[in-house]
Structure 1
Amino acid sequence: MLRKVKDVADLAGVSIRTLHHYDRIGLLSPASETKAGYRLYSDEDLDRLQQILFFRELGFSLQKIGDILDSPTFDRRQALGLQQKALIEKRERLGLMIETIGKTIKNMEGELDMNEKEKFEGFGFGDNPYEEEARRRWGDGPVDGANEKVQSLGAKGREQLGQQMDGLFQKLAGMRKKDPHSEEVQQAIGEWHDFLNGMGHIYSPDAFRGLGRMYVEDERFTKNMDRYGEGFASFMADAMGIRADHLQD
């Protein structure tokens, strides 16, 4: 059975815009189109969409999801088993957090006492999710190099580095409505590239382009970037991709 994009969006609880984005990046391209240009999704497309949404719930980037689903060794049954296990663990952790909230309220109202350990039951965010994503995509080298560079600066140096980064972002955010191909924008995005290269690892054109894609494919990054202005993450992804193309010419 073939379904139109609106029907699939309603069925899966996602927006039509999301499905269009998945199609545009090649993550989920519908089986066919009508003569009028309407996308038509097959049962196999729905199975792939289900996998995408499971992986998204577990924090995988769209790029990583695409790599997994397109791998010749991908086994859907095995993937479902692993996803089930991971989601059960997540449910248990959320249950503990809900219980901790209830205990905390009672503690505030004087109904029970909580020790320090009980106050944090259910939490377990030890690793930085941004760092985890970078490690998955490019390996340990870039992350470790950047960490060593930052740690060697000392408190004052790290503060100055943060101010420099913030200044670059503010400068670029002020250009986000301009053509990312323009000389002015490309000069500024070059400053961002140079800044990253000074952090202990040289970003190749592909790595630089990949970082830009992460800004729009991972909602955590998009939310963080767009604090500088709506559409900033998308603008950065486009400008960084253009610079990467020029460097490879």
Structure 2
Amino acid sequence: MKVKEVADLVGISVRTLHHYDEIGLLSPDEVTESGYRLYSDDNLETLQQILFFRELGFPLNKIKEIMNRPTYDRQEALEMHHKMLVEKRRRLDQVIATVQRTIQHTRGEIKMSNKEKFQGFDFSHNPYEQEARERWGDQAVDESNAKAKAFGKEMQDRMNEVYMNLAAVRHLAPESEEAQTAIKAWYRLLNEFGSYSLEAFKGLGQMYVEDERFTKNIDQFGEGLSVFMRDGMAIYADKHQSKHPSE
């Protein structure tokens, strides 16, 4: 299947598949002479596994590490995914039921006790988390649960500062000098704790808009910031394809 066909089948963007290829997470079994990526059934099975891990909150670098281990067992992983997702669904069903009852309560149709108002809220660990730790390692689970903390407070503060600087110029054209200077600072910061090609940087900007989790986190610094960053990052990448990140 071609990349667009896979994207349509799965419900993700072509850019996301290109990004997975660029970071070595999922490369198509064949690339034609004209550059078309062709995905096999094995590739689709791997993609399914990746998306199961993503649904459980694992970051891409950890998914790659886990799936590249010689001891990785696909069947075993599927069974673990099933257990954890069923538990997640159970908890969500309880919260949904509480919401429905609360709506009835506010309408005066029923009377809820204080205990009933909080049924389904459970901030303890998933009962299968320990098993996941044993299978995939503490570090992978810890990063899945709180990957933002892995960067440390100092790095988080620096990231927030760049976000605020970008938010301050988001009313300008994304190709303006002020906007591109702020985008450049973001690109440099990202490359301090990762390795982003310009193409990957451009794809990341696209994900800021396509993935509502990114959009929500970024737009808290200013409405429309995610769209502004996407456009600015694309312009920066296109203009600097032959340059080094430090330039």
* TM-score of the aligned structures, taking structure 2 as reference length: 0.63
Match of 1:168 in 2: 165
Match of 1:70 in 2: 68
Task: Tell me: CA distance 1:108–1:174, structure 2 relative to 1, closer, same or farther (3 Å).
Answer: closer
Instruction: Please list, as runs of the form range in 1=range in 2, the aligned pairs for 1:1-249 lying within 5 A after superposition.
Output: 3-124=1-122, 132-135=146-149, 137-138=150-151, 142-143=152-153, 167-171=164-168, 173=170, 177-178=174-175, 185-186=180-181, 206-207=192-193, 219=211, 220-226=213-219, 227-232=224-229, 235=232, 245-246=245-246
Aligned to 2:33, what secondary structure does the other structure show? coil
Supply the AA of the counterpart residue of 2:68.
Answer: D
Q: Please tell me whether the aligned partners of residues 33 and 39 of structure 1 are also in contact (alpha carbons under 8 angstroms).
A: yes
**1:47-97, CA deviations, whole angstroms, 9 ceiling, x for partnerless residues?**
110011111211223333223223344322222122111101111011101
Task: Tell me: CA distance 1:89–1:63, structure 2 relative to 1, closer, same or farther (3 Å).
Answer: same
Task: Tell me: CA distance 1:207–1:235, structure 2 relative to 1, closer, same or farther (3 Å).
Answer: farther
> How much has 1:185 moved relative to structure 2?
4.5
Name the count of aligned residue pairs. 212
Instruction: Structure 1: give runs of 5+ residues left out of the alignment.
Output: 150-161, 194-202
> How much has 1:184 moved relative to structure 2?
8.2
**1:194-217, CA deviations, whole angstroms, 9 ceiling, x for partnerless residues?**
xxxxxxxxx89632768x97x756
Relative contact order, CA 8 A, sep 6+: which one is greater? 2
Distance in 2, Cα, partners of 1:73 & 1:101: 43
Task: Tell me: CA distance 1:99–1:175, structure 2 relative to 1, closer, same or farther (3 Å).
Answer: same
Q: Please tell me whether the aligned partners of residues 100 and 119 of structure 1 are also in contact (alpha carbons under 8 angstroms).
A: yes
Identity of aligned residues (%): 41
Distance in 1, Cα, partners of 2:191 & 2:31: 35
Distance in 1, Cα, partners of 2:215 & 2:124: 22
Task: Tell me: CA distance 1:178–1:26, structure 2 relative to 1, closer, same or farther (3 Å).
Answer: farther
Task: Tell me: CA distance 1:46–1:188, structure 2 relative to 1, closer, same or farther (3 Å).
Answer: closer
Q: Please tell me whether the aligned partners of residues 58 and 144 of structure 2 are also in contact (alpha carbons under 8 angstroms).
A: no
> How much has 1:132 moved relative to structure 2?
0.9
Aligned to 1:246, what secondary structure does the other structure show? coil
Supply the AA of the counterpart residue of 1:224.
Answer: N
Instruction: Structure 2: give runs of 5+ residues left out of the alignment.
Output: 126-142
Distance in 1, Cα, partners of 2:97 & 2:15: 37
Cα RMSD of the aligned pairs, angstroms, is 4.4
Q: Please tell me whether the aligned partners of residues 33 and 40 of structure 1 are also in contact (alpha carbons under 8 angstroms).
A: yes
Distance in 2, Cα, partners of 1:187 & 1:48: 37
Distance in 2, Cα, partners of 1:12 & 1:204: 29
Distance in 1, Cα, partners of 2:51 & 2:16: 11
